[in-house]
Structure 1
Amino acid sequence: MDVELQPGGEAVVRVAVATLWSCPEAVRAVDAPALAARTDIAAWISGMDTEQQVGDCVLSQLLLGERVLVTELRDDGWAHVVAVEQPAPRLHPRGYPGWLPTEQLAPATGTADADPLVVDATVTALRDAPGGAEVLPGVVLGTRLTPAGPAVDGWQPVHAPGHAAPLWLPGGDAVPAPTTPPSAGEVLAVAQRLLDVVYIWGGVSAYGIDCSGLVHLAWRRLGVLLPRDASDQATATRPVPLGAERPGDLYFFARPGRRIHHIGIVTADPRPGDDRRMLHACYLRRRVLEERLPDERTATLVGVHRV
């Protein structure tokens, strides 16, 4: 256990993608690549069958550098944390709670002075030198990084949690983090880059993602922090009349008397005859797709909201 981590203190994620678990006892043999000190999310997902992809042992995922509040440290190498950059007001006032391996965390070191960068490549890797060996593969879209100096020969040095020396990535893979609100069209364009990504319950990465994770990640890439879960995303956004939706708005779905269970991003103005289209991470088809709302979706459509 890293003795610098303390309950009640903050830490940051030191792996490319950390998975947040419901409890340590819930993990399965197939989850080993997601539990390692150097995670391999691609291998983890490719090793699962379609039922394992929707196991409710996974709650969410955290990206490299994401801040957490440590609430408990166990002797068996597990930490209970609250992901403070993933609002979840139904679950905890500070963020999304869950468990992850302690070795996937590093102590928080304060706020960096440099203006942050954000990964714009779908997937990239951090290396030990320009063009050198991969140290942190699998760094995904939306990850925030702190520059460690100017670019050199097309390579950008960055600070990475748990690494004393700067690491390097291609300069074009990261861009200055946005400082102004994005347009709906910009957010939709980010989400469209994740078409055909595998559906993973709790996923928030370009390797695998769920419906609310897709919405959270698309806005997060452009500097807007939305809650993690669909029902909380509905509370945090503004309703607009059905029929007044435009591309980039959000469709919400719920069964009678039940909480919202699904969300999609509007991709076209509505047409006569309730012909509506959306981009969403589809549980039934196990991937991100853009489609006309099927009849069963239209029957459970409960609202349109705008960020």
Structure 2
Amino acid sequence: MEDIMWELEKEMQNEKQTYVDVSVMSVWAEPAQTRELDAPALSNPVQPWEWTESMTLDDKLWLVGNLDTQALYGMEVEVLEEEGEWVKVAVDGQPTPLHEEGYPGWVPKDQITESASFQRVQDNDIASITSPTASLFEGKALETESIEVSFNTRLPVISEQAEKVEVATPSDGNKWLDKEDVSVYEDIDDISTPSANDLVETAESFMGLPYLWAGVSGFGFDCSGFTHTVYKAHGITIPRDSSVQAQEGEKVERENLQVGDLVFFARNGGTGDVHHVGMYVGNGEMIHSPNSRSTVEKVVINESDYADSYHSASRYLP
């Protein structure tokens, strides 16, 4: 009997899920290759604004090739391997040909957690953050801030009141959110199909947000992290990277562009590898997160730096 119980306990341990335990977790190309100035992004808790606002342009450009993606508080990750205080994970919900379980890369071990209590409430209603960022509070009076979390963070609901929502966190107990910052769903599949204008309105809420290579959060986006996150917040999962986004979806000729379509740009005058994506907003314009020198902006495509590198377009709205 003891052998059977031991086997059952072992099986349950093997089935434990692993979750992101910081507001936004940066996923690196290699373990322990970060800089001293990256410390605010490597701790638990993280300090995302302190990190991004402290970087010079050259500091930001260094991230290209060194930082791969990010993951949000409470997201599930698959642990692939360990090396000292670092673990290689695959981020669930970020489709990529790089790994079948999700986008792979290295993170500090203390930024992830196994949580039986958090795992048990995964079938609860879900509170999805709809503001660019939002505060989690220690109590329902909404006076003492715990941490600031990003747009599209999704946490299980414990209780719901008229103006506030109690949610579970991966390792820090239950917290409270102002209901103005969230939408609550019984299940992610219950998110209604957005209109093109819904997508544009969401994208516009980030106008002026500084670019961050590999970013997928309200603390900073790269070009494909921006389009991936805007669509995902509306219940549509598209690939993480622009080159793969360009390969999928319904192909659209340029003269048939509709609001909400994704437009892609490539090297060699638009004939080479795809390196950039924006969202078409009508009247020849797109909204995008362009590069480390810029912020989320709207531009007339034919008058922009991308005028001579148009490649293709994909439609992901049903």
Query: Could you say whether these structures have the same fold, taking a TM-score greater than 0.5 normalized by the shorter chain as the test?
Result: yes
- Shift in Å, 1:279: 0.5
**Does structure 2 retain, via aligned residues, the 8 Å contact 1:120–1:174?**
yes
Aligned to 1:146: 156
**1:1-307 correspondence runs (5 A):** 10-54=17-61, 55-56=63-64, 57-75=66-84, 77-89=85-97, 91-107=98-114, 109-110=119-120, 112-130=122-140, 131-135=142-146, 137-151=147-161, 154-163=163-172, 165-177=173-185, 178-256=190-268, 258-269=272-283, 276-283=284-291, 285-293=293-301, 294=303, 296-307=305-316
Using structure 2 for the length normalisation, give the TM-score.
0.86
Q: 1:17 to 1:187 in 2, by over 3 A?
A: same
Q: Secondary structure at the match of 1:39?
A: coil
Per-residue Cα deviation, 1:141-199 (whole angstroms, up to 9, x for no partner): 11111101122x62210001012x31111121111245232122111111111111111
Q: 1:10 to 1:187 in 2, by over 3 A?
A: same
- Shift in Å, 1:7: 9.3
Per-residue Cα deviation, 1:2-58 (whole angstroms, up to 9, x for no partner): xxxx99964110111111111123211111100111001000001100122232211
* Letter of the structure 1 residue corresponding to residue 245 of structure 2: Q
Q: Which runs of 5+ in 1 are unaligned?
A: 1-5, 270-275
Percent of aligned pairs with the same residue? 29
**Does structure 1 retain, via aligned residues, the 8 Å contact 2:18–2:114?**
yes
* Letter of the structure 2 residue corresponding to residue 199 of structure 1: Y
More helix by share: 2
Alignment length (residue pairs): 291
- Shift in Å, 1:111: 5.8
* Letter of the structure 2 residue corresponding to residue 114 of structure 1: N
Q: Which runs of 5+ in 2 are unaligned?
A: 1-12
**Does structure 1 retain, via aligned residues, the 8 Å contact 2:265–2:277?**
yes
* Letter of the structure 2 residue corresponding to residue 49 of structure 1: T
**Does structure 2 retain, via aligned residues, the 8 Å contact 1:7–1:71?**
no
**Does structure 2 retain, via aligned residues, the 8 Å contact 1:18–1:62?**
yes
In the aligned structure 1, how far is the partner of 2:310 from the partner of 2:241? Answer: 17
Deviates more, 1:168-177 or 1:94-103: 168-177
In the aligned structure 2, how far is the partner of 1:15 from the partner of 1:292? Answer: 37
- Shift in Å, 1:202: 0.5
CA-atom RMSD, angstroms? Answer: 1.9
**Does structure 2 retain, via aligned residues, the 8 Å contact 1:7–1:72?**
no
Q: 1:7 to 1:17 in 2, by over 3 A?
A: farther
